[in-house]
């Protein structure tokens, strides 16, 4: 053991707050939450959102090229859904 300590601070963040926090640090949100567009006002967002049809890691890894190609074609502040 190297004597290093880390402190994990957790707090409850609502979806709207989470999106605002993500916008400060990222340009793109990749999610499989199919209800996001109904729960949030996406028009006011400044980051792009890519909705994947699954959260199955093996399916996502098999489709990595398609995902990257889709991202490269997205507009800033764009929204896209990708069926995998």
Q: Supply the pLDDT for residue 55.
A: 96
Q: Is the dihedral of CA 78, 59, 37, 17 positive or negative?
A: negative
* Tens digits of pLDDT across the chain (84 residues): 334 444 444 455 666 677 888 888 889 989 999 988 888 878 878 889 999 999 999 999 999 999 999 999 998 889 999 999
Confidence (pLDDT) at 52: 97
pLDDT the model gives residue 15? 63
The DSSP annotation for the chain comes to --------------HHHHHHHHHHH-SEEEE--TTHHHHS-GGG--SEEEEES---HHHHHHTHHHHHHHHHHPPTT-EEEE--
Q: What pLDDT is stored for residue 22 in this prediction?
A: 81
């Amino acid at each position: 053991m190297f004597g290093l300590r880390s402190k994990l601070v957790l707090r409850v963040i609502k979806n709207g707050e989470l999106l605002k926090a993500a916008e400060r640090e990222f340009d793109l949100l990749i999610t499989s939450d199919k209800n996001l567009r109904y729960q949030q006002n996406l028009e006011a967002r400044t980051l792009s959102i890519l909705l994947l049809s699954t959260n199955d890691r093996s399916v996502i890894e098999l489709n990595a090229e398609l995902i990257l190609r889709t991202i490269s074609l997205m507009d800033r502040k764009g929204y896209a859904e990708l069926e995998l």
